[in-house]
Amino acid sequence: MNMQTRKNHKPHISVIIPTLNEEGNIKQVINGVDNVLKGASYEVLVIDGYSKDKTVPIAASMGARIIYDSRGKGSALIKGFAEAKGDILISIDADLSNEPKEMRLLIDSIEIGYDICMGSRFITGGGTQDMPIMRRFGNRIFVILVNSFFHAHYSDLCYGYRSFRKDKIHELALKENKFAIETEISIMAAKKHLKVIEIPSVEKKRDSGQGKLRTFGDGWGILCTIFRNLL
């Protein structure tokens, strides 16, 4: 491919949004995505865990493709990755924690040659307003473990605002159904020596509704994932 062709080739982008009872947020999330991607070629996939509220009708009325999954956030993302038609895949939460305009950096990073771009709350320019002290502590410990066991240099781990080169995603052979999915992605990316870049990301407070992550239950799951991958 010569430079001219590359310049003219607009990548197709798939935005993958896992949802569970996000009726108070989903409209604004999709609006935010639409605003930033105006003029680009893209699709929005909502992978819903059988929400009991109006999440699905709202998302469908805004043109999102709806896919159902009953197992958890990880399983929802894996299904989204498999169904996505884009060259660049973006995972973004449905609770208004992630700033849509940061997608520009997520997209650019893949376009300039990285395989995965990970938002990080813990490098200059990043931050979080949605992380109680125990989670902050747990995340830090997990970062240290993953970096030392898998020879990586991550600054953040349990954060789902990321982008991926589509043809690299199958190399990760992802299996985690729950909240350990981000950890599994980071570990597999290190094991497969993928080209990873971190960009600063500011995580805002969840807007409406309840967070589903359980600090201790899911923290234990993440720890198990780290040690299982050592074997």
Q: Which position among 18, 100, 119, 138 is part of the footprint of ligand GDP (CB under 6 A)?
A: 18
Q: By CB under 5 A, what part of segment 56-75 binds Mg ion?
A: none
Query: Which residue is it, tokens 């789902």?
Result: 160
Q: Which of these ranges, 58-66, 110-118, 194-202, 204-212, lies near Mg ion under the rule CB under 5 A? A: 204-212
The yes or no reply on residue 74 touching ligand GDP (CB under 6 A) is no
Residue number with CB closer to ligand GDP (62 or 108)? 62
Judged by CB under 5 A, does residue 182 bind Mg ion? no
Q: Is 95 in the site for Mg ion (CB under 5 A)?
A: yes
Of 16-24, 31-39, 59-67, 97-105: span binding Mg ion (CB under 5 A): 97-105
- Torsion (CA) 74, 77, 81, 85 in degrees, nearest 10: 170
The answer to whether residue 91 forms part of the interface with Mg ion (CB under 5 A) is no
Main-chain phi, psi angles of 226, to 5 degrees: -60, -45
Pick one of 137, 213, 214, 217: the residue that binds ligand GDP (CB under 6 A): 213
Check binding of 47 to ligand GDP (CB under 6 A).
yes
What 186-193 contacts at long range (C-beta under 8 Å, 24+ apart), as own/partner pairs, is: 186/118, 186/146, 186/152, 186/154, 186/157, 187/146, 187/150, 187/152, 187/225, 187/226, 187/229, 188/229, 189/115, 189/116, 190/146, 190/150, 190/151, 190/152, 191/150, 191/229
204: which DSSP letter?
P
Residue closer to ligand GDP by CB (options 41, 129) is: 129
Radius of gyration, CA atoms only, the chain? 17
Binding site for ligand GDP (CB under 6 A): 18-20, 22, 47-49, 69, 72-73, 76, 93-95, 97, 206, 211-213
